């Protein structure tokens, strides 16, 4: 439970951080809730870590022209407890509140979570339903991708060497939309065995799923059925169609597929009940 | 852990079979594989290669040294692939039968087998084992397809 | 002579907050890992990743030359250190030689292979990675039933059948009872392997004083004195030159009731390098190398009449021992046999234990140690019988309880139950849940298609270990009470509490008996150089045996105080009360401080009295004590997911007299948490190749505060006649009563579907599969 030797730096500007990351050899430390345990088990042994904790301008939540901007180093607790997020994007606050435990939420960050791309992480389901974008920064400049394009596969993202997640953006929630996130919690880790985020309005549906497949994804088949007027159960029933479901000690692929339909229906119903 | 699935390659079965037995292709396509050195035939008649592999998924990295064995050749329909490796993070053994089934002008490569892991990765990696194995297999076939694309 | 000891307001019986807590809560307690000695080195252990393998070769040269590494030791280096001891004995028991480091073979994942000693912990951990071991893996077996199959891999090649021992116990005429029974019900019941999981892992610091040839060993243990004796033997040191100190111990639950290879290894290293050395177990090591609990596969048969009268109980018990015998490994299942009759009048009993080697870490005592398994078995069987006979589970229990007029009750397993009113806690629990109304609620719930279950368990446990002839290392306990010249009181207890709160409860007892403020009493434990020999804390014995020893030491001391009082007051008619001796004739007084001062100054002494104010007692209990109780659990099952929600938990325990209700409640809460853990979440899973695949807290689900139901506690009080305090012990009660109540409740919820039994843990997927009609 002791990591290998590594170099550690804690730059105090974004420019310095990007400089230090430029050659792609260093790992970014953005809360460390996944990376540090891996290092302690020596499953990850990066030669150097660049800690973004002291980089100014990465920790903020602000609204501009109907868009919520969240700095990459904003902790889950800050999102969960933000009056602004709760008022303008309750689904995101609900997702943040469902992550791990208090200690994890006080240290883990939104940028760290999306960059790690754990297939059972809570955030991505909601962020996909919210059609979030991520802004990436490197010495070469910035680019913005939809989260859907950003998440490539199991713990694999579109991040290029030397690039970091700088910001996550979501739209301010539409007035006619109700939202909910429902998950079955893995009792040991607190990760989602299956988690479904739903945003439902009139003729509008967005569904994000985590835990079920190799990466979090948007269930467009469910969305289409809902937008076409199907009820929650009928729409939820198709959520796992064509999905190569994950399987582990805690839930077999069949059980996960079944849970996805159950939690999808629950999230959809709750979202509908919350829609005005 | 049982694994199984299929992948479509744009080659007729006989060619697909040869390609997947080609050590240079295997070395290129096994994620993180450095090289394959033929070490001869085993007592059971398996063609064996020595391999070194650097597996990396996100920040998780492991160096594995071991062997790749090709067994039970039944050209062009099937053979058995055995990959064994060990390193500081643990050890793994994957064994599976690859079956080649014509599908139009291409081939469905079906695989079925079992992966066993030990050491730290077995003790702490359960949650991600299945999904990681699938990821690696997908990556492998993706690289094979790309290699075939280059050859054609 | 009319000298009396008057009673004043008592602390015993009051909910006094734990005096231990301020230091724990403020982070100022000292654990082993907090110790820093001048020149201290650090040890890190290389462990086998294989469950079974031959060691072809081992290359330590790179590790040896790593900067900062002082020494690397392997199996042959420590060949002179004695084996890890097994303290239990059974006829024909096979005890493999348990060297402190593996030599030519490894037998389980985590088996210690080499130790690196370095100037700091990080260097030691790095150097571990530099050791090259060439293993030749061999076939392993992790499942005890598979290990018994012909042709199974042999864990120890010298014993190809993997059987360590068989043990038969019988009482009454079981064959006749079964032959004459009107109804016989059979069930296979498992009790899965569990990881004890103290918050503080194991750890030790060893310092060898070369000139004095003496070793000081700080260790996170429940048994400092036994550890001293046994580590001394292992290292070939004279026992009086070994001092064991237990600083704060962050939980044990039985897993620190042991002597481990690392404790001797640390001593060996300290002696070799001439510097203090620290070894702290990582959480990962704790999973792999500290004993596990449970590991039963039980085959039960119950014989009864159709009116519900039980006649006999048969058990075939397959105990997963793991690869070695730790201190009490083979003794644990024998406790299950002793307690298999539960609270019922089973006159005919037959039990067969097969102790089986597997390529897993050894099992040993874990909270309850054999009794949760027994209670789980008999309480499940009572429910199965009730279901078979279409009787109410409460009714069948009340029908078969041992009667109040039958104590002391000789069981068919050879025990003598001390005292009891077994119906009382069940009736109280039934009242607390309003049982008939609850059954009515259940009927309505079922009409609505809901799966609601009501589960009852009653339990009896053997506690207060125990009469010495029946315990491996002696079953007595010791206490010293010292009163300083200033009148302040120090208690030294041979029990070694590690979370049970005896610093509070023993101070309550001493304060009451001496009539002083609790603030004037300190309780000290866990240093063999200061505290007289003691046995330790386990088996719910701390208060029932250690407290009794304290009581008798206090009694001796009070007699001496009185003699000094009589001398100083020049009267033989005095009262000792409130910390003051008062002459009943003149009203003159002398305080305890004056008396104590006199005893040390010793200008005058009472006839036949020595100076000083100190008494030590070693108390041998005449019997075990047998607490009992009833738990009722209401569950509701989510039809869609299989998730079990515990909607109500009622625990009524009878642990005899209660010293401190707050601490008793805490013990019940903690015990129930661990019982719920086994019932619903926890399992140490080894795969077929012997890899522990729940090897971290990401996969091994310990109960969390957020997953606990509200626990309603109640008590009945039936004092034990075994000890002068009338206490029975409560440390394990919650765990023992819990799991059968939860399983009975879930089975009850699913009974409309024809479900008879579910093995633990009742995970959502398992329950969901049952709901899908699968046989589990």
Mean pLDDT of B85-95: 90
In 3D, which of A60, A65, A66, A61 has the Cα closest to residue A171? Answer: A66
Report the pLDDT value the prediction gives residue C8, as an integer from 0 to 100. Answer: 56
Asked if A4 has any chain C CB less than 8 Å from its own CB, the reply is yes
Q: Are A195 and A173 in contact, with CB atoms under 8 Å apart?
A: no
Q: Do B122 and C695 touch (CB under 8 A)?
A: yes
* Nearest-neighbour CA in chain A from B115: distance (Å): 13
Asked if B126 has any chain A CB less than 8 Å from its own CB, the reply is yes
pLDDT above 80 for C775: no
**Beta-carbon count within 10 A of B143 CB:** 17
Find, in chain C, the residue whose alpha carbon is nearest to that of A100: C698
Preceding amide of B76 cis, omega within 30: yes
Q: Do A154 and B132 touch (CB under 8 A)?
A: yes
Dist. CA B93–CA B110, nearest whole Å: 19
Q: Provide the pairing of β-strand C69-74 with C112-118.
A: antiparallel
Helices (H), C159-260: 174-180, 224-235
Left, alpha or beta for C625 (phi > 0: left; psi -120 to 50: alpha)? Answer: beta
CATH C-level class of B2-151: alpha beta
Strand order in the sheet with C521-525: C521-525, C489-493, C477-483, C614-619
Asked if C707 has any chain A CB less than 8 Å from its own CB, the reply is yes
**Cβ-based burial of B3 (10 A; exposed 0-12, middle 13-18, buried ≥19):** middle
Cα C529 to the center of its chain, rounded Å: 25
SS3 state of residue A160 = coil
Report the pLDDT value the prediction gives residue B35, as an integer from 0 to 100. Answer: 81
Report the pLDDT value the prediction gives residue C274, as an integer from 0 to 100. Answer: 97
Q: Tell which A residues from 185 to 244 touch C, by Cβ distance under 8 Å.
A: 186-189
Q: Are B28 and B147 in contact, with CB atoms under 8 Å apart?
A: yes
> Which residues, other chains included, contact C457 with Cβ-Cβ below 8 Å and sequence gap of 6+?
C375, C379, C630, C631, C737, C738, C739, C740, C741, C744
Q: Are C288 and C695 in contact, with CB atoms under 8 Å apart?
A: yes
Cα C130 to the center of its chain, rounded Å: 38
Dist. CA A164–CA A21, nearest whole Å: 9
Dist. CA A214–CA B136, nearest whole Å: 11
Give the neighbours of chain B: at least 3 Cβ pairs within 8 Å. A, C
In 3D, which of C81, C86, C674, C74 has the Cα closest to residue C322? Answer: C86
Asked if B90 has any chain A CB less than 8 Å from its own CB, the reply is no
Count CB pairs under 8 A between chains B and C.
41
Numbered residues of chain A with Cβ closer than 8 Å to any chain B Cβ: 27, 34-35, 38-39, 41-46, 116-120, 153-156, 186, 189, 191, 214, 244, 246-250
Dist. CA A45–CA C577, nearest whole Å: 68
Report the pLDDT value the prediction gives residue C527, as an integer from 0 to 100. Answer: 98
Q: Are B21 and B121 in contact, with CB atoms under 8 Å apart?
A: no
Mean pLDDT of C359-378: 97
* Paired residues of C245 in beta bridges: C218, C527
Nearest CB neighbour to A1, from listed C129, C282, C693: C282
- Please check whether the two domains, C32-138+201-249+256-289 and C296-466+623-771, share a CATH topology: no
State the ipTM, two decimals: 0.95
Question: Using a CB-CB distance cutoff of 8 angstroms, which residues of chain C are in contact with residue A37?
Answer: 698
Report the pLDDT value the prediction gives residue C1, as an integer from 0 to 100. Answer: 44
**Cβ-based burial of C521 (10 A; exposed 0-12, middle 13-18, buried ≥19):** buried
Q: Do B116 and C287 touch (CB under 8 A)?
A: no
Q: Are A84 and A51 in contact, with CB atoms under 8 Å apart?
A: no
Nearest CB neighbour to C699, from listed B116, B119, B126: B126
In 3D, which of C464, C415, C382, C535 has the Cα closest to residue C727? Answer: C464
Sign, Cα dihedral of B99, B100, B102, B107: positive
Report the pLDDT value the prediction gives residue C6, as an integer from 0 to 100. Answer: 47
- What are the domain boundaries of chain C? 21-28+476-619, 32-138+201-249+256-289, 296-466+623-771
Dist. CA C563–CA A66, nearest whole Å: 88
* Nearest-neighbour CA in chain A from B114: distance (Å): 14
- For residue range C432-472, what is the model confidence (pLDDT) as tens digits? 999 999 999 999 999 999 999 999 999 999 999 989 998 88
**Beta-carbon count within 10 A of C224 CB:** 27
Residue A65: pLDDT band with limits 50, 70, 90: very high
Strand order in the sheet with C163-171: C163-171, C348-357, C310-322, C296-304, C183-191
**Beta-carbon count within 10 A of C485 CB:** 14
Percent of chain C with pLDDT over 70: 99
Dist. CA C95–CA C314, nearest whole Å: 27
Mean pLDDT of A38-56: 94
* Nearest-neighbour CA in chain C from B56: distance (Å): 19
Give me the DSSP letters along A62-119. EEETTEEEEETT-BHHHHHH-HHHHHH-HHHHHHHHTSS-HHHHHH-BHHHHHHHT-T
Question: Using a CB-CB distance cutoff of 8 angstroms, which residues of chain A are in contact with residue B130?
Answer: 246-248
SS3 state of residue A195 = strand
SS3 state of residue C81 = coil
Phi, psi of A83 (to 5 degrees): -60, -40
**Beta-carbon count within 10 A of A100 CB:** 18
Q: Do B118 and C689 touch (CB under 8 A)?
A: yes
Question: Using a CB-CB distance cutoff of 8 angstroms, which residues of chain C are in contact with residue B122?
Answer: 687, 691-693, 695
Report the pLDDT value the prediction gives residue A276, as an integer from 0 to 100. Answer: 67
Mean pLDDT of C722-743: 97
Dist. CA C348–CA C301, nearest whole Å: 12
Question: Which CATH code, of 1.10.3720.10, 3.30.365.10, 3.30.470.20, 1.10.287.1080, is assigned to C21-28+476-619?
Answer: 3.30.365.10
Report the pLDDT value the prediction gives residue B45, as an integer from 0 to 100. Answer: 80
pLDDT above 70 for C3: no
Give me the DSSP letters along C232-258. HHHHT--GGGEEEE--B----TTTTSS
* Paired residues of A190 in beta bridges: none
Q: Do A154 and B130 touch (CB under 8 A)?
A: no
Residue of A248, A250, A252 for testing the chain B interface, max B β-carbons within 10 Å: A248
- What are the domain boundaries of chain B? 2-151
- For residue range C181-194, what is the model confidence (pLDDT) as tens digits? 999 999 999 999 99
CATH architecture label of C296-466+623-771: 2-Layer Sandwich (3.30)
Dist. CA A80–CA C307, nearest whole Å: 60
Q: Are A125 and A114 in contact, with CB atoms under 8 Å apart?
A: no
Question: Using a CB-CB distance cutoff of 8 angstroms, which residues of chain C are in contact with residue B123?
Answer: 109, 284, 287-288, 691-693, 695-696
Q: Do A244 and B134 touch (CB under 8 A)?
A: yes
| Structure letter (DSSP) for residue C545 | I
- For residue range C267-324, what is the model confidence (pLDDT) as tens digits? 999 999 999 999 999 999 999 999 999 999 999 999 999 999 999 999 999 999 999 9
Q: Are C228 and C309 in contact, with CB atoms under 8 Å apart?
A: no
pLDDT above 90 for C384: yes
Report the pLDDT value the prediction gives residue B126, as an integer from 0 to 100. Answer: 84
Dist. CA C70–CA C687, nearest whole Å: 37
* Paired residues of C775 in beta bridges: none
- Angle at the Cα of C638 from the Cα atoms of C632 and C641, rounded to 5 degrees: 130
Q: Do B120 and C49 touch (CB under 8 A)?
A: yes
A42, C270, C725 from C125: Cα distances, Å:
10, 18, 50
* Nearest-neighbour CA in chain B from A27: distance (Å): 8
Question: Using a CB-CB distance cutoff of 8 angstroms, which residues of chain B are in contact with residue C129?
Answer: 88
Mean pLDDT estimate for chain C: 96
Q: Are C51 and B117 in contact, with CB atoms under 8 Å apart?
A: no
Summary count for chain A: helices (H), strands (E):
12, 14
Q: What kind of fold does domain C32-138+201-249+256-289 have according to CATH? A: Aldehyde Oxidoreductase; domain 3 (3.90.1170)
**Beta-carbon count within 10 A of A5 CB:** 10
- For residue range C581-613, what is the model confidence (pLDDT) as tens digits? 999 999 999 999 999 999 999 999 999 999 999
* Paired residues of A68 in beta bridges: A63, A170
Q: Do A155 and B60 touch (CB under 8 A)?
A: yes
Residue B152: pLDDT band with limits 50, 70, 90: low
Nearest CB neighbour to C685, from listed A5, A187, A249: A249
C358, C423, C461, C621, C626 from C416: Cα distances, Å:
35, 18, 12, 13, 9
In 3D, which of A184, A43, A35 has the Cα closest to residue A120? Answer: A184
Dist. CA C695–CA B108, nearest whole Å: 38
**Beta-carbon count within 10 A of C198 CB:** 20
Which run of H or of E encompasses C136? Answer: strand C132-137
Report the pLDDT value the prediction gives residue B123, as an integer from 0 to 100. Answer: 87
Dist. CA C511–CA C183, nearest whole Å: 56
Helices (H), C70-158: 121-128, 144-148
Dist. CA A169–CA C736, nearest whole Å: 52
Residue of B64, B127, B128, B132 for testing the chain A interface, max A β-carbons within 10 Å: B127
Find, in chain B, the residue whose alpha carbon is nearest to that of A215: B131
In 3D, which of B60, C394, B78, C509 has the Cα closest to residue A39? Answer: B60
Find, in chain A, the residue whose alpha carbon is nearest to that of B2: A247
What end-to-end distance do the CA atoms of chain B give, in Å?
Answer: 36
Mean pLDDT of C503-522: 97
* Nearest-neighbour CA in chain C from B64: distance (Å): 14
Q: Tell me the HSE value of B110 on the side-chain side, using a 13 A CA sphere.
A: 8
pLDDT above 80 for C245: yes
Give the neighbours of chain A: at least 3 Cβ pairs within 8 Å. B, C
């Amino acid at each position: 439970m002791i990591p290998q030797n590594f170099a550690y730096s804690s730059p105090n500007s974004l420019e310095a951080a990007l400089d230090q990351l430029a050659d792609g050899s260093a790992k970014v430390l953005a809360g460390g809730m996944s990376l540090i345990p891996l290092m302690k088990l020596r499953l990850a042994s990066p030669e150097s870590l660049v800690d973004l904790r002291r980089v100014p301008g990465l920790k903020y939540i602000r609204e501009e022209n109907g868009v919520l901007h969240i700095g990459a180093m904003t902790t889950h607790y800050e999102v969960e407890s933000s009056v602004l997020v709760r008022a303008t994007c309750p689904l995101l606050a609900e997702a943040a509140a469902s992550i791990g435990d208090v200690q994890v939420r006080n240290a883990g960050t939104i940028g760290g979570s999306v960059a790690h791309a754990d297939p059972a992480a809570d955030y991505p389901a909601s962020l996909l339903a919210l059609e979030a974008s991520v802004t990436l920064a490197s010495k070469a400049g910035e680019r913005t991708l939809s989260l859907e394009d950003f998440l490539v596969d199991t713990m694999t993202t579109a991040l290029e060497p030397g690039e970091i997640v700088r910001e996550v953006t979501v739209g301010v929630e539409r007035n006619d939309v109700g939202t909910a996130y429902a998950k079955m919690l893995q009792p040991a880790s607190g990760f989602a065995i299956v988690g479904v985020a739903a945003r439902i309005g009139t003729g509008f549906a967005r569904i994000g799923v985590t835990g079920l497949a190799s990466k979090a994804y948007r269930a467009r088949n469910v969305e289409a059925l809902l937008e076409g007027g199907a009820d929650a159960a009928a729409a939820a029933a198709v959520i796992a169609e064509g999905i190569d479901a994950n399987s582990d000690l805690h839930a077999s692929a069949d059980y996960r597929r079944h849970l996805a339909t159950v939690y999808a229906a629950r999230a959809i119903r709750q979202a509908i009940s919350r829609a005005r | 852990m049982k694994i199984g699935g299929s992948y479509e390659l744009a080659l007729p079965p006989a060619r697909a079979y040869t390609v997947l037995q080609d050590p240079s292709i295997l070395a290129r396509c096994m994620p993180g594989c450095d090289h394959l050195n033929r070490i001869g035939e085993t007592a059971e008649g398996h063609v064996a290669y020595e391999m070194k592999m650097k597996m990396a998924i996100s920040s998780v990295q492991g160096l594995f040294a071991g062997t790749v064995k090709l067994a039970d050749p039944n050209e062009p329909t099937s053979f058995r692939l055995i990959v064994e490796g060990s390193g500081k993070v643990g050890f793994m053994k994957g064994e599976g039968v690859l079956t080649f089934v014509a599908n139009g002008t291409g081939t469905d490569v079906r695989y079925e087998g079992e992966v066993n892991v030990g050491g730290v990765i077995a003790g702490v990696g359960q949650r991600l084992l299945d999904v990681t194995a699938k990821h690696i297999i997908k990556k492998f076939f993706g690289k094979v397809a790309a290699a075939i694309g280059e050859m054609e | 002579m009319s000298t009396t000891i008057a009673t004043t307001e008592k602390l015993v019986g009051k909910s006094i907050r734990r005096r231990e807590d301020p230091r724990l809560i403020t982070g100022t307690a000292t654990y082993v890992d907090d110790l820093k000695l001048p020149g201290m080195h650090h040890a890190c252990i290389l462990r086998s990743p294989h469950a079974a393998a031959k060691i072809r070769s081992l290359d330590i040269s790179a590790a040896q030359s790593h900067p900062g590494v002082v020494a690397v030791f392997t199996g042959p280096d420590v060949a002179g250190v004695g084996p890890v001891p097994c303290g239990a004995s059974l006829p024909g028991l096979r005890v493999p030689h348990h060297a402190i480091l593996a030599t030519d073979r490894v037998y389980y994942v985590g088996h210690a292979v080499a130790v690196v000693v370095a100037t700091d912990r990080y260097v030691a951990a790095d150097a571990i990675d530099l050791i090259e071991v060439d293993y030749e893996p061999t076939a392993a077996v992790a499942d005890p039933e598979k290990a018994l199959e012909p042709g199974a891999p042999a864990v120890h090649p010298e014993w190809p059948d993997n059987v360590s021992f068989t043990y038969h116990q019988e009482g009454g005429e079981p064959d006749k009872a079964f032959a004459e029974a009107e109804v016989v019900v059979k069930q296979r019941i498992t009790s899965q392997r569990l990881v004890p999981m103290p918050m503080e892992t194991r750890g030790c610091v060893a310092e060898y004083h070369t000139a004095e040839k003496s070793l000081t060993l700080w260790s996170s243990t429940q048994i400092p004195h036994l550890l001293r004796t046994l580590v001394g033997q292992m290292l070939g040191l004279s026992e009086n030159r070994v001092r064991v100190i237990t600083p704060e111990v962050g939980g044990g639950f039985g897993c620190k009731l042991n002597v481990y290879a690392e404790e001797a290894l640390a001593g060996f290293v300290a002696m070799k390098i001439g510097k203090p050395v620290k070894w702290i177990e990582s959480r990962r090591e704790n999973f792999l190398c500290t004993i596990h609990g449970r590991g039963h596969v039980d085959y039960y048969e119950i014989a009864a009449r159709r009116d519900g009268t039980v006649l006999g109980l048969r058990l075939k018990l397959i105990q997963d021992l793991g690869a070695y015998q730790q201190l009490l490994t083979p003794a644990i299942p024998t406790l299950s046999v002793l307690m298999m009759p539960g609270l019922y009048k089973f006159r005919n009993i037959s039990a067969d234990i097969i102790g089986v080697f597997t390529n897993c870490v050894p099992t040993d005592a874990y909270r309850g140690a054999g009794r949760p398994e027994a209670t789980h078995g008999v309480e499940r069987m009572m429910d199965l019988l009730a279901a078979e006979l279409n009787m109410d589970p409460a009714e069948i229990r009340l029908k078969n309880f041992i009667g109040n007029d039958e104590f002391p009750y000789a069981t068919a397993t050879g025990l003598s139950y001390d005292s009891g009113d077994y119906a009382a806690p069940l009736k109280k629990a039934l009242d607390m849940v309003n049982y008939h109304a609850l059954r009515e609620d259940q009927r309505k719930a079922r009409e609505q298609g809901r799966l609601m279950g009501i589960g009852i368990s009653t339990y009896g446990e053997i506690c207060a270990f125990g009469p010495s002839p029946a315990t491996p290392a002696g079953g007595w306990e010791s206490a010293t009470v010292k009163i300083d010249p200033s009148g302040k009181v120090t208690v030294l207890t041979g029990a070694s509490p590690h979370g049970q709160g005896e610093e509070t409860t023993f101070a309550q007892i001493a304060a009451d008996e001496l009539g002083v403020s609790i603030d004037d009493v300190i309780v000290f434990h866990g240093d063999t150089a200061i505290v007289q020999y003691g046995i330790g804390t386990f088996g719910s014995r701390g208060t029932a045996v250690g407290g009794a020893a304290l009581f008798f030491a206090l009694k001796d001391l009070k007699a001496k105080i009185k003699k000094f009082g009589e001398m100083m007051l020049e009267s033989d008619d005095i009262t000792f009360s409130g910390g003051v001796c008062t002459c009943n004739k003149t009203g003159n007084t002398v305080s305890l401080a004056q008396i104590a001062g006199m005893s040390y100054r010793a200008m005058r002494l009472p006839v036949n009295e020595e100076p000083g104010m100190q008494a030590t007692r070693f108390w041998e209990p005449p019997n075990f004590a047998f607490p009992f109780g009833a738990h009722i659990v209401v569950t509701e099952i989510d039809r869609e997911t299989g998730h079990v929600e515990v909607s109500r938990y009622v625990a009524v325990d009878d642990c005899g007299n209660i010293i401190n209700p707050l601490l008793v409640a805490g013990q019940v809460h903690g015990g129930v948490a661990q019982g719920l853990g086994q019932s619903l979440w926890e399992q140490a899973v080894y795969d077929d190749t012997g890899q522990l695949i729940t090897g971290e807290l990401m996969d091994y689900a310990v109960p969390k505060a957020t997953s606990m139901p509200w626990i309603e506690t109640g008590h009945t009080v039936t004092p034990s006649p075994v000890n002068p305090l009338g206490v029975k012990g409560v440390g394990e009660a919650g765990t023992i009563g819990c799991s059968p109540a939860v399983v009975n409740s879930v089975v009850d919820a699913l009974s409309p579907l024809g479900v008879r039994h579910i093995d633990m843990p009742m995970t959502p997927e398992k329950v969901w599969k049952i709901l899908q009609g699968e046989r589990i």
